[in-house]
Structure 1
């Protein structure tokens, strides 16, 4: 990775003109692996979603520019083709849900939660004309064909936590509520969607971890560390886009500027240190893993590998996708300099 260049990041009105990203790749050194089935599966999955949601150009091109298929391929590199298709359908869908909720009110968010969780709880008998509910029902009816009971319950619970957190965020935005670091971290652990993705690691590998493993303090600490890394590294990458929309209040960098009295670069640097500490927590807890016997230990190793894949996959995708940096992702990845976008008028 290129060394930090000597940029001038001040402007005439004493507001920063930009900031330098932390060297995130130096701390997250896990190998990036790619699923060999990705290309043909991703196209079929995207087309299915476009048909179900009646998506047409130019929105089709915008969605494809996000390259969500690259994220899925690197987060689940060992999934077979049939499981990768369901993973792709779900993750493509959850991205559209997440973006949809950005512009909705609390009642919309609650309605989305009620519809989708009802579809998961009773995918056979639940009936709805809501496109989101129909998609959720379709995905889950295929998911449960091979998912274990523990994995299934964890997936439903995690998705419910996501919708609850999303509703809280919508409400907080409307009321102008300001988070401190502790409450923000707790919210983001549900809002990232990582908890659902952790359950999908089991699904992709056709394993079903025992409850005593999933609830063990070391496993829970590793999941929290991986979740924090995903949340915080994503906040660093998304900050410029969010501040330009006057929507960065729920971002780690903005939280740190308010709570710690830091300037922008100081908050970015602090965020990078938190990312580094999350990786260290992950590895420190890995070193204290107990044994549950040969077969369960094999499954635990798969789960931990999956968490690694999520962390490094999301990091690389943040620069490869157009979601945060447009067409400049590779330049930003190399130089680590972000020029602040102008704020949109309120």
Structure 2
């Protein structure tokens, strides 16, 4: 997976002078996919990591491109161009951008294993992610930090792009589920929060240096007048509380396993894989020790 991950990024000229081979390799993105999708086939894991690679490079593109820095409206315009590919209506000029060409490759392969109902859901998830990116850019420009944990979580559930990994469970495992179950919806939200909070904890040092405001610890420090140490300690409490909630919901759902269809049961198991896999990957990835720009999405 690591070899495929690197070769795909090189194929589409995504690794540049600002994102060196060493920085890319020590991030261990291929290992991340093995951790969070341990039961998927190799071919489908390749598709998943190529998509996540694309997400990482989009983030880098928005952060370091000089004519976008501090310009939320321009960022929004660029992200909307990527949406035209997902909407199957791209303009020819967009393919002058290597990131757009890479997305075209991934999207063409995704369409082969998905139906239109899934694609509509996926487009909506990406659209919410792009909206959150725009909002964060506005907040960063104005140094505006969310006033409460609740306000922060509402933004972060989209800005982390974690829901894209949840969307991918169905095509990667060849299953189809209904999202009408309220307990399942709660489980997805708790899993999303846990992954994003863990990411905030591990990326804190870089984000303090770079003036980011989309971090639970920064929000806690401002909204509760905590010291940095107090904010970190309370963030750990929130992380542990989310894990307790995840366990409680999974236990309740599994009590009704005989009544639950097999696909939903598989989906729940993979949600837990994503939470646990993401945590262990954060502990070993060099992403947070290198001068690496791949840092913001909830799964990276």
- Length-normalised TM-score, structure 2: 0.86
For the 8 Å contact 1:46–1:92, the answer to whether it is kept is: no
CA 1:301–1:292: 2 relative to 1, 3 Å:
closer
Give the Cα–Cα distance (whole angstroms) in 1 for the partners of residues 41 and 78 of structure 2: 30
Q: Write out per-residue CA displacement over residues 242-265 of structure 1, whole angstroms, 9 at most, x where no aligned residue.
A: 2133x2432111111111121122
Is 1:309 the counterpart of 2:276 in the alignment? no
The more displaced of 46-55 and 69-78 is: 46-55
Is 1:49 the counterpart of 2:14 in the alignment? no
| Structure 2 gaps, min length 5 | 292-300
Q: Write out per-residue CA displacement over residues 119-142 of structure 1, whole angstroms, 9 at most, x where no aligned residue.
A: 01116x654323222221211111
**1:291 to partner: Cα distance:** 5.6
CA 1:226–1:98: 2 relative to 1, 3 Å:
same
The more displaced of 149-158 and 214-223 is: 149-158
1:35-114 matches, within 5 Å, as 38=1, 42-53=2-13, 55-56=15-16, 59-103=20-64, 104=69, 105-114=71-80
| Structure 1 gaps, min length 5 | 1-37, 328-346
Partner of 2:126: 159
Give the Cα–Cα distance (whole angstroms) in 1 for the partners of residues 33 and 14 of structure 2: 23
Q: Write out per-residue CA displacement over residues 64-99 of structure 1, whole angstroms, 9 at most, x where no aligned residue.
A: 121111111101111112211111110111111122
**1:149 to partner: Cα distance:** 3.7
After superposition, the CA RMSD in angstroms is: 2.2
Which structure has more helix as a fraction of its residues?
2
Give the Cα–Cα distance (whole angstroms) in 1 for the partners of residues 187 and 14 of structure 2: 40
Partner of 1:199: 167
Give the Cα–Cα distance (whole angstroms) in 2 for the partners of residues 139 and 318 of structure 1: 25
For the 8 Å contact 2:140–2:212, the answer to whether it is kept is: no
Which of residues 144, 147, 158 is equivalent to 2:114?
147
Q: Write out per-residue CA displacement over residues 281-305 of structure 1, whole angstroms, 9 at most, x where no aligned residue.
A: 22222233386976x6211121111
Which of residues 100, 121, 127 is equivalent to 1:133?
100
Paired residues, what number?
281
Q: Which consecutive segments of 4 or more residues in structure 1 shift more than 6 A?
A: none
Give the Cα–Cα distance (whole angstroms) in 2 for the partners of residues 144 and 48 of structure 1: 19
SS of the counterpart of 2:12?
Answer: helix
SS of the counterpart of 1:214?
Answer: coil
Is 1:279 the counterpart of 2:243 in the alignment? yes
Whichever of the two has the greater Rg, that structure is: 1
SS of the counterpart of 2:261?
Answer: helix
